[in-house]
């Protein structure tokens, strides 16, 4: 364990230690596994990010943080939209475990606005359906859902067993669309849990489905504000979207659609009427940004409204893109106003947070985004990694042409997108884009997590519980950020765990007010003395140790 006062300051000794740690871990695994895992554990170098192995199958037997393809499609991307009835075609557990645990919130505008998020729709298939097929049960579930709720749109999500028995959810969707009639939109997703190596495959499948079935179906120009933008890859966890909506409105920016925090069907259908796409979570939604650029001519930029200074940066980028003085001035006014309270809260928190250590092992974007907030708190992220990020999320999009496409990636449908015959309209001319780029705007770009990390910090993809235990034993961070599967294992080791998936009971953490909430929550967590008192029974009681003799 590193001594408290030596924790920060000597990055060189940390580099050596982290390298030792990497070696130590590798020797504990069986040789073949160790060799494979070594490629996913690298020492960061922001100037020249090393190649990391990512988006490959987890070694069987390793306790992974990952989720499944169904989770990425149904839970992550489509889940937060309140007026689609999402039916899980599968055993009840798949529906049950994806029922509200992510804390994606929504706010219906009035009592006529549908909100199905609080329900859990499932076909609850049984052994007999596995033997004789589940398509009839699915049709019956759709009929029932329609009779009860009269939704405009129903989506069907395949789980592992229905994929294995070969139920055709797409055929059922077409059949039921005809049977019910009246313009109802029903579509299915082949997002069986095993379809990819993680939930990342589910994002891609969901993106394709959004594009094929919803985006661009309604040309009406909505909203009275100018400066029409979409926010992609924001899912309103703990109310993040509400805070961002507040900021955009205050600046006079028209947020046409969010994919998919606090969203509705109509917002997706209108999304192509925006003039700029902003990508927040690159991993889960970059496909939609690319498809919308090809089809409709909407440029996209990467934004990062986690952390107060990053939120300000995002607003300035929007103002620069639209290039009107009125907006530039308003954005500066809003930033100046919001930063007063942010500054005070940050100063207060920093008294207790400066110099502390954090570790972040979350999903496919937050392990990067939250480093901004920790930087604002004067904390160092000593180790970080994604569960299911791809190489571009670590090393930047420049590596995309060099990423090897394996059989697991080929398993996911690639749709061919072309210019929309009537709606394609480049929002900026080539010259205008060049000029913006000359002034520092970057289109179609994401530099990845490693660019931001300190030299010598550890970057680990698809962290295993064994590696997590060893990291904690050795470095004893002041806070470990991950999810519910890790929470209690880590806390039993005397280290507080902050959930950065569902924020425990906290949030919002996005935008300006979100930053303030985060400062206060982290200050509280790292100041609590209770963790030092925690002793696991085996630390204080006599116990017998044995080894296998095979
Ligand atoms: Fe994107 Fe997400 Fe994330 Fe993600 Fe997720 Fe999530 Fe996440 Mo949990 S879409 S990649 S699949 S930012 S649910 S809101 S917190 S793992 S880091």
Q: Among 280, 501, 506, say which to mutate for ligand 1: greatest number of ligand atoms within 8 Å of CB.
A: 501
Spatial separation of the C-alpha atoms in residues 355 and 7, rounded to whole Å: 8
Kindly state whether residue 46 falls inside one of the protein's structural domains: no
> Is residue 82 situated within a structural domain?
yes
CA 29/CA 405 separation, integer angstroms: 27
Write down the catalytic residue from 68, 155, 295, 345.
Answer: 68
Q: Which residues of the chain have pLDDT under 70?
A: 1-11, 550
Most distant pair of Cα atoms in the chain: their distance: 76
Is ligand 1 within 6 A of the CB of residue 44?
no
Does residue 460 belong to any structural domain of this protein? no
In-domain check, residue 418: no
Read off the tokens for 170.
């797409």
Place of tokens 């934004």: 303
CA 84–ligand 1 middle distance (angstroms): 20
Residue with the nearest Cα to atom 8 of ligand 1?
A: 501
pTM (whole model) above 0.85: yes
Within-domain flag for 379: no
C-beta of 365 in contact with ligand 1 (< 6 A): yes
For tokens 């160092």, name the residue. 380
Q: How far is CA 116 from CA 99, 183, 206, 368, in A?
A: 11, 20, 19, 32
**Checking DSSP bridges between strand 300-302 and strand 357-361, what pairing results, if any?**
unpaired
In a domain, 11, yes or no: no
Residue 187: φ, ψ to 5°? -145, 155
How far apart (Å, rounded) are the C-alpha atoms in residues 14 and 186? 55
The answer to the question of residue 212 being in a domain is: no
In whole angstroms, give the CA distance from residue 458 to residue 550: 34
Phi and psi at 299, nearest 5°, equal -70, 155
Assigned domain for 303 exists = no
Number of separate domains in the chain: 1
Active site residue 474: no
Looking at residue 544, what is its pLDDT? 84
Domain that holds residue 138: 69-193
Cα separation, 28 vs 93, whole angstroms: 35
Listed residue (336, 321, 329, 314) closest to 248, CA to CA: 314
Tokens describing residue 282: 């690159």
Residue with tokens 């909505």: 222
What CATH number is attached to the domain comprising 156? Answer: 3.40.50.1980
> What are the C-alpha distances in Å from 255 to residues 11, 225, 261?
42, 9, 12
């Amino acid at each position: 364990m590193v001594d408290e006062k030596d924790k920060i300051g000597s990055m060189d000794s940390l580099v050596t230690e982290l390298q030792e740690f990497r070696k130590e871990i590798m020797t504990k695994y069986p040789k073949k596994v160790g060799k494979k895992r070594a490629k996913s554990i690298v020492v960061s170098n922001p100037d020249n990010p090393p190649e990391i192995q990512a988006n490959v199958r987890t070694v069987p037997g390793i306790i992974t943080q990952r989720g499944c393809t169904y989770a990425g499609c149904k839970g992550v991307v489509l889940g937060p939209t309140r007026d689609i009835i999402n039916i899980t075609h599968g055993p009840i557990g798949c529906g049950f475990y994806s029922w509200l645990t992510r804390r994606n919130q929504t706010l219906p505008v009035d009592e006529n606005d549908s909100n199905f998020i609080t329900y859990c729709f499932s076909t609850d298939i049984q052994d007999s359906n596995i033997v004789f097929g589940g398509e009839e049960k699915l049709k019956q579930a759709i009929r029932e859902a329609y009779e009860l709720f009269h939704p405009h749109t129903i989506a069907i999500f395949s789980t592992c067993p229905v994929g294995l028995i070969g139920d055709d959810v797409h055929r059922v969707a077409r059949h039921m669309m005809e049977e019910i009639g009246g313009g109802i939109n029903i579509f299915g997703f082949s997002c069986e849990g095993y379809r990819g190596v993680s939930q990342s495959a589910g994002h891609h499948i969901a993106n394709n489905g959004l594009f094929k079935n919803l985006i661009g179906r309604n040309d009406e120009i909505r909203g009275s504000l100018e400066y029409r933008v979409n926010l992609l890859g924001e899912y309103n966890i703990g109310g993040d979207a509400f805070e961002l909506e507040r900021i955009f409105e205050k600046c006079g920016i028209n947020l046409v659609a969010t994919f998919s925090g606090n969203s509705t069907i109509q917002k997706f259908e209108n999304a192509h009427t925006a003039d700029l796409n902003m990508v927040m979570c690159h991993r889960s939604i970059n496909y939609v940004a690319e498809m919308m650029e090809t089809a409709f001519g909407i440029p996209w930029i990467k934004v990062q409204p986690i952390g107060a200074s990053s939120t300000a940066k995002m607003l300035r980028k929007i103002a620069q893109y639209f290039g009107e003085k009125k907006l530039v001035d308003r954005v500066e006014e809003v930033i100046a106003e919001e930063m007063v309270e942010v500054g005070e809260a940050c100063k207060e928190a920093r008294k207790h947070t400066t110099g502390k250590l954090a570790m972040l092992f979350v999903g496919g974007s937050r392990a990067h985004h939250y480093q901004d907030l920790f930087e604002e708190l004067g904390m160092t992220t000593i180790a970080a990694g994604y569960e299911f990020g791809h190489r571009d999320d670590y090393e930047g999009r420049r590596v995309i042409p060099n990423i090897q496409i394996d059989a697991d990636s080929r398993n996911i449908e690639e749709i061919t997108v072309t210019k929309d015959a009537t709606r394609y309209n480049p929002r900026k001319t080539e010259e205008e884009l060049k000029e913006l780029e000359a002034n520092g705007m970057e289109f179609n770009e994401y530099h990845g997590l490693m660019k931001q990390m300190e030299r010598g910090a550890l970057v680990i993809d698809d962290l295993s519980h064994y590696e997590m235990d060893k990291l904690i034993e050795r470095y004893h961070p002041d806070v470990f950020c991950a999810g519910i599967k890790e929470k209690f294992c880590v806390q039993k080791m005397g280290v507080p765990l902050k959930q950065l998936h569902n924020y425990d009971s906290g949030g919002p953490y996005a935008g300006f007010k979100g930053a303030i909430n985060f400062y206060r929550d982290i200050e509280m967590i790292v100041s609590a003395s209770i963790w030092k008192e925690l002793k696991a029974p085996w630390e204080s009681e006599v116990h017998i140790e044995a080894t296998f003799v095979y």
